[in-house]
Amino acid sequence: MSTLDRTLSRRTLSAVGASLTAGAALAVVARPAFAQDATPESSPAEDGGGMPPLPAGAIPVAQGLWNPNGLAVAEDGTLYIAEAGVAGGGEPPTAAATPLPDGSLPTGPLPLVAPQVSKVAPDGTQSVVTTEAGGTGITIVGGEAFVVNGGTSVASGFAQVPGENTVRAIDLATGTVRQVAELGTYEIENNPDGQDVNPNLYALAASPDGLLYVADAGGNTIYSVDPASGESSLFAVVPNLTDLTGATPTAEEEAMQPGPRQPVPTGIVVDDASTITVGLLGEGWAGPSILNFAPDATWTEGVSGIAYNVAIALGPDGLLYASQLTADFSGEMPAPGNVFRITADGAVEPVVEGLFFPHGIAFDAAGALYVTTNSIISAPDAPAGMVLKFEGIATPA
């Protein structure tokens, strides 16, 4: 597991920290929470940092979110938002905590603000659907929203805390939550990729075959889950990029992460033909940003060049889109991120630029793009996350 993967893992459960260099990450998370500025010019914070202005055409549709991640748009136009919550300083579980599958009690701190799911109705009304489920990835099947919540208790030396590395279903009519599957135990007991043991569910997608496919960013695996029965199985191991590409890491890359370069799958989509596409985090290294999974169980390289790729989505125009958390983490303040379109001929082109920590992306039927921003900076008393809308991005042909 890479440095950035460890930080993203922590954020999946608790939503703090999402970066590569510890100094840059801590500098961002330690600052008071403030949203991307909607004025024509950015407003520097008191400590000298500043947000970029909102990109042209941005329409804020939701604000005051606790580190928002994944997005899903229902058939009636309602927008659902998975929020990762806020980490740090929470009390450890007590004897009343739900036992783990092996009968032991979880250890380690709970988040200060638990993950939750919010929604924006077609009339613009924003509300919280449930505080019993939330996290990173979200998709809608029928009358339920399915959400994945990862976590890094195991990678940090603790037992999993309640709700970590689970798939949960939310009844959209009643708000009732049920646990569908717990997948962290499989990584702990089997370590399918043979590298560090680090369960960290990150994204999921529904398939025409009726199954959910779940990407484990820490375990470098894809699971299939029956949304009705909860039955789950290992679907595929995402290959490390050293073996897949045959490329030899540079000395700088080897110093950052010794050994094979891990893929870190952070996005997954399944199209109408059940073709599976997986987005990879990248961390600024050379190599594919997208992988395609063939019916013969082989992986092929897609496009490259999208560093810090944290989400992918299919637009109603039939093209693939990718969300970039930041273009560069090396400076004192991380560079703004972007949303890219992968064209029919495989070119990568920006469609929205200048976003502050964008994350989840989704489209409505008309082709409007929704993107979460300010996705990793909320403080316990200041939710700063937003959802922005950009019309006409993926208009159907």
Flag whether 327 is in a domain: yes
Q: How many domains does the chain have?
A: 1
Spatial distance between the Cα atoms of 316 and 40, rounded to a whole number of angstroms: 31
Spatial distance between the Cα atoms of 329 and 184, rounded to a whole number of angstroms: 29
Percent of the chain whose predicted confidence (pLDDT) is above 90: 63
Flag whether 128 is in a domain: yes
Spatial distance between the Cα atoms of 217 and 278, rounded to a whole number of angstroms: 11
Flag whether 395 is in a domain: no
Q: What is the pLDDT of residue 50?
A: 55
CB 216 within 8 A of CB 187: yes
**Which residues touch 87 (CB under 8 Å, ≥6 apart)?**
10, 11, 13, 14, 15, 16, 17, 109, 111, 112
Alpha-carbon distances, residue 95 vs 13, 26, 105, 106, 184 (angstroms): 21, 33, 7, 9, 21
Residue 184 belongs to domain with CATH number: 2.120.10.30
Spatial distance between the Cα atoms of 27 and 49, rounded to a whole number of angstroms: 10
Task: Report, as an integer, the average pLDDT of 92-111.
Answer: 59
The pLDDT tens digits of the residues spanning 303-312 come to: 999 999 999 9
Spatial distance between the Cα atoms of 245 and 384, rounded to a whole number of angstroms: 39
Spatial distance between the Cα atoms of 149 and 132, rounded to a whole number of angstroms: 11
Provide the 8-state DSSP code for 184: H
Q: Which residues of 167-196 are buried (b: 16+ CB within 10 A; e: fewer)?
A: bbbbebeeeebeebbbbbebbbeeebbeeb
Flag whether 266 is in a domain: yes
Flag whether 297 is in a domain: yes
The pLDDT tens digits of the residues spanning 251-270 come to: 877 777 777 888 999 999 99
- Across 97-111, 219-233, 327-341, least confident range: 97-111
Residue 120 lies in domain: 3-390
Q: Does residue 108 register a pLDDT over 90?
A: no
Flag whether 313 is in a domain: yes
Flag whether 295 is in a domain: yes
Q: What is the pLDDT of residue 65?
A: 97
Q: Does residue 27 register a pLDDT over 80?
A: no
Flag whether 220 is in a domain: yes
Main-chain dihedrals φ then ψ at residue 282, nearest 5 degrees: 90, -55
pTM above 0.75, yes or no: yes
Tokens for 208, please give them.
Answer: 């025409």
Spatial distance between the Cα atoms of 201 and 213, rounded to a whole number of angstroms: 11
* Amino acid identity for residue 380 in this structure: P
Spatial distance between the Cα atoms of 65 and 55, rounded to a whole number of angstroms: 19
Spatial distance between the Cα atoms of 384 and 67, rounded to a whole number of angstroms: 7
Residue 32 — pLDDT band, cuts 50, 70, 90?
very low
Q: 199 or 157: whose pLDDT is higher?
A: 199
